Copies of this chain bind each other. A is one copy, B any other.
Amino acid sequence: MLRDEFDFIKKIRPKYSYQSSLIQGIGDDAAIYCNEPMFDELICMDTMVEGVHFTRQTMTPWMIGFKALAVNISDIAAMGGIPTYYLVSIAIPEEWTEEELTQIYAGMSDLGSKYSMDLIGGDTVSSKKGLIITVTVLGKVEKGTSLLRSNAKPGDLVFVVGDLGASAAGLDLLLSTGLNHPYTEYEKHLLKAHQEPIPQVEAGRILACSGLNISLNDISDGLASETNELAEASSVDLHIEFEKVPRNIYLNAYPIEKQKQWCLFGGEDYQLVGTMSEAGFKQLSPILSEKNIKLTVIGEVTEGSGNVYLYENKHKEKLLKKGFNHFDKGE
Contact = CB atoms under 8 A, between A and B. Distances in A.
A323 B175 CA distance: 40
Contact of A39 (B27, B35, B52): B35
Contacts of A89: 45-47, 134
How many copies of this kind of chain does the complex include? 2
B125 A52 contact: yes
B130 A123 contact: no
Contacts of A43: 30-31, 33, 85, 87, 120-121, 136, 138
A29 interface: yes
Contacts of A323: 4-5, 10
Interface stretch (A74-82, A182-190, A240-248): A74-82
Interface in A64-85: 75-76, 78-79, 81, 85
A44 interface: yes
Interface of A: 1-5, 10, 24-25, 27-37, 39-53, 75-76, 78-79, 81, 85, 87-89, 91, 120-123, 125-130, 132, 134, 136, 138-139, 141, 143, 146, 148-149, 175, 218, 220, 229, 323-329
A286 B146 CA distance: 48
Given A89-B47, A126-B49, A326-B4, A35 B27 contact: no
B1 A47 contact: no
21 contacts: A1-B175, A3-B325, A3-B326, A4-B326, A5-B324, A29-B75, A30-B44, A33-B40, A35-B37, A43-B87, A43-B138, A44-B87, A45-B87, A45-B88, A45-B123, A46-B89, A47-B125, A47-B134, A49-B126, A89-B134, A91-B132
